[in-house]
Amino acid sequence: MMINRRSLLTTALTFGAMKAFPGLSFAQARPLVFATFTGSWEEAHKAVLVPAFRKANADAAIVLDPMLSVDQIAKVNAAKANPPIDVMLHDPGPALVAIGQDLVEPYPVEKSAYYKDLITEAQEPMGPAPFFQVVGLTYNPDTVKTPPTSWADLWKPEFKGRVGITNLNSTLGTGWLVEIAKMRGGSEANVDPGFKALEELKPNLAAVAANPGALATLFQQGQIDISPGNFNAIQILKARGVPVEFVAPKEGAIAFKTTIHIVKNSPNRDLAFKLIEAALTPEVQTTLMKSPYLIVPTNSKVTMGGEIARILAKDTAELTQKFVFQDWKKINEQRAAWIERFNREIKL
């Protein structure tokens, strides 16, 4: 772009005008901004949710601004009165943070046509859960001949130097630690047994990845052969020819609710509500459930099919029964201390 005197002057005038008449800036004309997650989420939402929303709402303008939950919170927090985002997407931990910091509005449940059809776990009055993320065991079928069946299999001596995990910065890492603690008699309030178990896992650890995305790529490199993993991330790798398989451990796969929220003080409140409604419809959820997205639906009217029915659950009743839901309110209370402890204790 060339910068000449005219464009400089225009910019200066615009800034000046925005300063002089703050109402001018964004308040009315801004398109709906939906902060989805990066990667497969963005692809899925761009391809399915956004077209469905635009079709139902006379081609309303919408912008996807993909970023991590924590970054969404930081951005909204920095400009609470005039938030740059209208709709946020959150993992369970950050969702509670956002609610706690008063960044989201209650969902207008009484206006919603689909809220009541959601399974009970997904009915969150501060922002419903249109999707689940499922964490189970991931392994490389070329090198691991007997599929693992339990979290405890990670400790088997045959996996010496072949196990990968992530640190606690991610929902996956934290949720998995809690599950390990539970397996050894702990709970959301007491992860001590989990840390002891981690200590015993050290000889088996080949990698502690900085985030789940980095963990998944390690299968590609043969750096690790088994790890806790996200169902969707694994399906994407599998579709690209990486030898990985997902199994739900017998203790139950961990389900994280991915909740969607209207940002407080959003100038596009109505459109935000309509976008969330679109995400709750059986049509959108059915399409997202199919290949290549394979996102676990939460609307009980959706008939389970494909890989999800084969690997996870054949209907929503089985799903709620087989999945493990964690108490993130309790987890959040101590998460900072756990991250600190992980920093100090887990050195390879």
Partner 1 sequence: MGAAPAARDVTSYGTGLAAPLALFFLAFFVAPLLQLFWLSLHNDTAGLHWGIGQYLQFLTDPFSLSVLGSTLLLGAAVTAVCLLLGFPIAWLYQRVGPRLQTVIILIVLLPLLTSVVVRTFAWIVILGRQGIINATLQSLGMIDTPLRLLYTQFGVVIALAQVQMPLMVLPLITALGRIDSNLEDASCSLGAGSWRTLWRIVLPLSLPGIIAGCTLTYAAAITAFITQSLIGGGQMLFMPMYLYQQASALQNWPFAAAISIIFLLAVLAVVSVFTALGRLSRGYGGA
Establish if 169 lies at the interface with partner 1 (CB under 8 A). Answer: yes
Sign of CA dihedral 66, 70, 73, 75: negative
Closer to partner 1 by Cβ: residue 72 or 133: 72
* Number of other CB atoms surrounding residue 345 within 10 Å: 11
**Rule CB under 8 A: is residue 223 a binding residue for partner 1?**
yes
Q: Under the criterion CB under 8 A, does residue 209 sit at the interface with partner 1?
A: yes
Q: Which 50-69 residues touch partner 1, going by CB under 8 A?
A: 68
In whole angstroms, the minimum distance from the beta carbon of 95 to partner 1 comes to 13
Beta carbon nearer to partner 1, 71 or 245: 71
The binding track of 88-127 with respect to partner 1, each residue x by CB under 8 A or -, is: ---------x------------------------------
Sign of the dihedral through C-alpha 174, 175, 178, 180: negative
Q: How far apart are CA 152 and CA 172, in angstroms?
A: 17
Helices (H), the chain: 5-20, 40-44, 50-56, 69-78, 92-100, 171-183, 192-201, 212-220, 231-239, 269-280, 282-289, 306-307, 316-322, 328-345
Stretch binding partner 1 (CB under 8 A), from 21-29, 121-129, 207-215, 241-249:
207-215
Distances (CA, A) of 290 to 9, 108, 141: 51, 29, 23
Residues 6 or more apart whose CB falls under 8 angstroms from that of 142 comprise: 243
Looking at beta carbons only, is 71 or 121 nearer to partner 1?
A: 71
Q: How far is the CB of 126 from partner 1 (least distance, A)?
A: 18
Which residues make up the interface to partner 1 (CB under 8 A)?
68, 70-71, 73-74, 97, 161, 166-169, 173, 206-211, 214, 217-218, 221-223, 335-336, 339, 343-344, 346-348
